[in-house]
């Protein structure tokens, strides 16, 4: 007597997309990166409907041009991305807002709904030089929380976007301890989280547990995996994030951790619509490497029900 195979879950609350990051794009301009038209062509051909803007200036910053280029490929924009150092307090507000306003204006003009906010790095991702202490003081934590709430209010009021803060390796919002501290210090109606499954695993966190514990704060997903063997070497040697990526610490699903089906199913159980944007950090990479990976990853996510 054969045992029936369990049915694939229907993950219809997840809007799957990809991002320039999955094509090895980290900078507005870099000779090692694929041209933006090739990225748009390939992300559409790989079967994705949603994209992020990536680093401001990589894709056209003229909203009319970008709208035409995305529309004719059947693509839509989910979010823009900014880096901030709000833990430094009011002194950095004006410079922060100048950057945020550019990205938010473009994202809003493309009908995006989110702005992904990444805290600044505490060490240089190329040289490993410590740029500032690894741990924030109590005062800096207060500045971080107050600054993010201020940012969220203004972005919502002026551009109609919600901010989602992205825990990231080599930043001050990284480990479970720091993520939970940040969530507990901020207004849940204003500040949501972009849970990057790869970065959270890189920093020792459990994505499924975080979704179940703080589900109302999860506003966005980045789908990513880490290679556990390379991660062990990275941790043992204290390798900074940039060289770790070049070492291949972020890997193609389903070859790494965390397992994505339980993450996707936990996110589906929240009962809200969520973007689930694939990101596989691999800067720099050969120009022909990203597309086959993107195709295989999209097929894998479909096999999971997404």
pLDDT band at 5 (very low <50, low <70, confident <90, very high): very low
Does residue 284 have a cis bond before it (omega within 30 degrees)? yes
E strand spans, the chain? 14-18, 50-52, 76-84, 114-119, 162-165, 192-196, 218-223, 225-226, 250-251, 274-278
pLDDT tens column, 18-33? 999 999 999 999 999 9
Distance CA 3, CA 304 (A): 20
pLDDT band at 35 (very low <50, low <70, confident <90, very high): very high
Q: If you average pLDDT over every residue of the chain, what do you get?
A: 96
pLDDT band at 125 (very low <50, low <70, confident <90, very high): confident
| Residue 23 contacts residue 61 (beta carbons within 8 Å) | no
Q: For residue 157, which phi and psi values (nearest 5 degrees)?
A: -70, -40
Both structure tokens of 301: 């996510």
User: How many other β-carbons are positioned within 10 Å of the β-carbon of residue 225?
Assistant: 24
Q: Which H or E run contains 94? A: helix 93-109
pLDDT tens column, 242-270? 999 999 999 999 999 999 999 999 999 99
């Amino acid at each position: 007597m054969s045992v029936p195979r369990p049915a694939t879950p229907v993950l219809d609350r997840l809007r799957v997309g990809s991002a320039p990051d999955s094509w090895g794009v980290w900078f507005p301009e870099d000779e090692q990166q694929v041209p933006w038209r090739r990225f748009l062509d390939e992300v559409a051909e790989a079967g994705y409907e949603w994209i992020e803007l990536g680093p401001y200036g990589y894709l056209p910053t003229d909203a009319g041009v970008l709208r035409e280029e995305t529309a004719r490929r059947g693509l839509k924009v989910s979010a823009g991305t900014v880096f901030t150092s709000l833990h430094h307090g009011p002194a950095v507000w004006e410079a922060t807002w100048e950057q945020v306003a550019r990205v938010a204006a473009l994202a809003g003009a493309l009908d995006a709904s989110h702005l992904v906010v990444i805290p600044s790095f505490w060490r240089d991702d190329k040289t490993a030089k410590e740029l500032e202490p690894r741990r924030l003081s109590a005062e800096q934590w207060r500045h971080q929380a107050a600054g993010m709430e201020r940012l969220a209010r203004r972005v919502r009021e002026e551009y109609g976007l919600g901010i989602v803060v992205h825990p990231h390796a080599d930043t001050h919002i990284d480990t479970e301890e720091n993520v939970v501290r940040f969530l507990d210090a901020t207004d849940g109606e204003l500040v949501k989280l972009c849970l990057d499954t790869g970065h959270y695993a890189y920093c020792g966190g459990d994505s499924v547990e975080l979704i179940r514990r703080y589900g109302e704060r999860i506003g966005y997903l980045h789908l990513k995996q880490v290679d556990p063997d390379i991660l062990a070497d990275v941790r043992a040697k204290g390798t900074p994030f940039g060289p770790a990526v070049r070492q291949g610490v972020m890997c193609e699903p389903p070859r790494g951790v965390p397992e994505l089906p339980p993450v996707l199913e936990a996110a589906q159980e929240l009962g809200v619509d969520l973007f689930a944007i694939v990101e596989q950090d691999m800067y720099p990479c050969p120009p022909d490497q990203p597309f086959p990976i993107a195709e295989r990853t999209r097929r894998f996510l479909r096999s999971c029900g997404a």
